[in-house]
Every structure is written in C-alpha cells, then in structure tokens.
A = this chain, B = another copy of it.
Amino acid sequence: MQRLLTPVKRILQLTRVMQEASLTPARLLPAAHQRFSTVSAVPLAKTDTWPKDVGILALEVYFPAQYVDQTDLEKYNNVEAGKYTVGLGQTHMGFCSVQEDINSLCLTVVQRLMERMQLPWDSVGRLEVGTETIIDKSKAVKTVLMELFQDSGNTDIEGIDTTNACYGGTASLFNAANWMESSAWDGLRGTHMENVYDFYKPNLASEYPMVDGKLSIQCYLRALDRCYAAYRQKIQNQWKQAGNDRPFTLDDLQYMIFHTPFCKMVQKSLARLMFNDFLSASRDTQSSLYKGLEDFRGLKLEDTYNNKDLDKALVKASQDMFNKKTKASLYLSTHNGNMYTSSLYGCLASLLSSPLDKLVSSTSDLPKRLASRKRVSAEEFTEVMNQREQFYHKVNYSPPGDTSSLFPGTWYLERVDELHRRTYARRPV
C-alpha cells in the first residue's frame, strides 16, 4: 500500500431549520421518566410521528489545494509505468501540508457549508464528526468546531465524534438522521458545548491527561449553569403552552445525579443549581425559601465561580436536599473513585441499587460486589501503577499478575503481540 495521508474530510450536516418543524414532546427515555421526576408536569406529546424527508440536503467537500501527478510519482518511486494510474485507477493525489490537520479541515467545511447555505449559526442543533484521524485521545474534534458558533451564542448543540476507520463517517450520518427522526430532536434536554483546554490527552504516547484543575472546575460549573438554564427555559415554555405558567425549580425533580470527578464536586453542583433557582426567584420567595442566602442576592452567576463564602452558604442551604435527592447516587463514586465517561451511569446504578429506589435487579448486588473486593496497600497500588506505566504502549508481552485476583467471569488482556494485536482470555465463572 502506498503511504497515503487523509487528504479529504467532510462534515455531513443535517440542520434542524431545514426540517418540517413540529414541536417535539418531552418523551426521552420515558421508562425512566415515569419513575423519576417531571413526567406529570410535562404536557403530552403534540405529535409522535417521524418527520418527513430527513436526509442529506447539502454536501461540502474539502480537498487540499495541491496534488502530485501519479505518473510523476511512478517515475520518482521507480515503479513500472501504470502501477498507480492503471493498477489503482488513480491519476492525481491530493495531500495535506503541515498547516492542515483534522481540526482545520473540519473548521473549513463547516464554515463553508454554513455560509454557502446561508444558515444562521444559532439554527444548528446537532453536529457530528466522523473521523479516523485523531490528534487528541480525549478532546473531540467537535469541541474545536464550537469556536465557529461562539459569536452566535449557540452552545446547545448535541453530537460528538464517532471513530472507526472508514465506518466513522457513516456512523455519524446515521446518528444525525436518527436524531432528527427521534423524539430527542429539539426535545427536553439542555446541552452546553464549548472549546476549552481544561482536560485533554494530546500526548498520545502517555496514559495521562493534561489537566488544568481550577479551569476544569470553572468549566464544569459554567456548563451546569448553562445546561440548567436551557432546560428550565424549555420546560417552562412547554408548561406555558399547557397553561401552566410558573418557574421550574429543583423541587420539581425527584432525584438529581451528576457527572462525578469527585464526590465533593457533586455536592457543590447541587448547591450551584439551588443558587440558579434562588437568583431567578421573586424577592419574597428568596426570603421565605432560601434561608441564609439573602446576602448573595445581587450577584451574577458568571462572577461567582470562585466565591468561597457563597459556596459555603449554598452547601449549607442545600444540605437537606442533597441528602434526600443526590447522596445515594454517590455510592459507587465514594467507594471506587472517578469513573470518567461512565461516571454518570455509575451514579444511576448507585441510585437504583439504593434503599431509596430499589427498582432494577441488575444493580441490586453492587454493595455486595464492592464489599468482596480485595484491599491492597498503598505500596502495592503504587507498584501496579508503575507497572501500567512500564507496559503502556509496549508490544510483544503478556501482562504479569495473578488472574485469580480478578472477579470470576472477568475478561483480561492475555497478550499483546509484536504487531500490537491484543488477545483476551476469560476467568472461569
């Protein structure tokens, strides 16, 4: 095979302005909804049919502004004439310079598509990136594209990167089309996406991220404020249409769960949401319902990401609510630590396995399973961490260690061969 780079990328965009608009109902994940939260307060679906004519309405293609003629390359590479032009059926080959990467390619096509179609930036509700070329292990290309939307103020854009060789693009197209047909299209969700370098993994040869902890916490809280504001706005609009004109507050929710980098962050987050409620309440409600917060009446959300007095007062004011509606969701995080991508669902599993809400049998054994783990010393822990570092990105080895320390039925890495191919084995059940 020739050494070919990735000279062309495109974004397929399905934008909601171009669809036959119909207000969609608050029916996402109704099974869960019926138990948790706001379902009774939400009006019934106006329509529950698929929209018509979901598909590709415009395409934008990027290719580099330079190419090499394949007959030139045949001569240069000293191969028989026709090897590329006839054998592969290729006459010219575009290629990217060092000034072009997956981000710059996507920035160009998105902007060109929007401008050419004269789409307002605030009309986009979803943006997908399908790629097999990454320059960061954790920070999606999509986050960079959010820069283009900055001036419009539109950060409520779902979708993210999908990756797998040549299938990534097709998967992203299917995801976008499915979304438009689903009840989630313009449904009852608040999303906040922006481009921030607070947590990312640009050193591909390292297992560790680059983290700006302070910035990361600030981003978390700002995203929380924005998501909550978007969600409240949407549900209040729906209520209003159903003749129920009142503000949405945390009292309307049965439980609240959060992405959990560490447990204390969650308590602060719930407190933060209460601050949102407080700021948008009437003066009378502020005095009667939110004891101890009177001093913070005049503050603005964006000025209070590092206000420790406020944090303290908020945690105190929301303590009771935290105990009733959130604490049970932190069981796994408390006992196991940060779960990253799966964190939110670890909270859901904890809540479902809690005495508060014993719903789903598949999570009821969590406490028993957690209790059956082996406690190791801090020294042994450090040794295993060093081992991970030592074997990261190596080839031709079998990981050392006693597989009997794994839970029964656990798959484990058995070998990485000299071509990086991985084989797995399973501990007997």
Contacts and interface: CB of A to CB of B under 8 A. Distances in A.
Contacts of A413: 98-101, 103-104
B143 A342 contact: no
Interface string A386-428: 0110010100000111010111011111000001111010100
Given A182-B50, A337-B94, A163 B161 contact: yes
Interface in A237-285: 259, 261-264, 266-267
A7 B124 CA distance: 36
Contacts of A221: none
Contacts of A334: 89-92
Contacts of A123: none
Interface stretch (A228-236, A286-294, A296-304, A377-385): A377-385
Contact of A104 (B88, B177, B341, B412): B412
Interface in A132-169: 132-140, 142-144, 147, 158-169
A204 B31 CA distance: 41
B50 A29 contact: no
A137 to B, nearest CB: 5
B61 A349 contact: yes
Contact of A68 (B52, B205, B381, B391): B381
Nearest to A333: B90
6 contacts: A3-B208, A99-B401, A138-B165, A161-B162, A169-B341, A181-B181
Contacts of A344: 166, 169-170
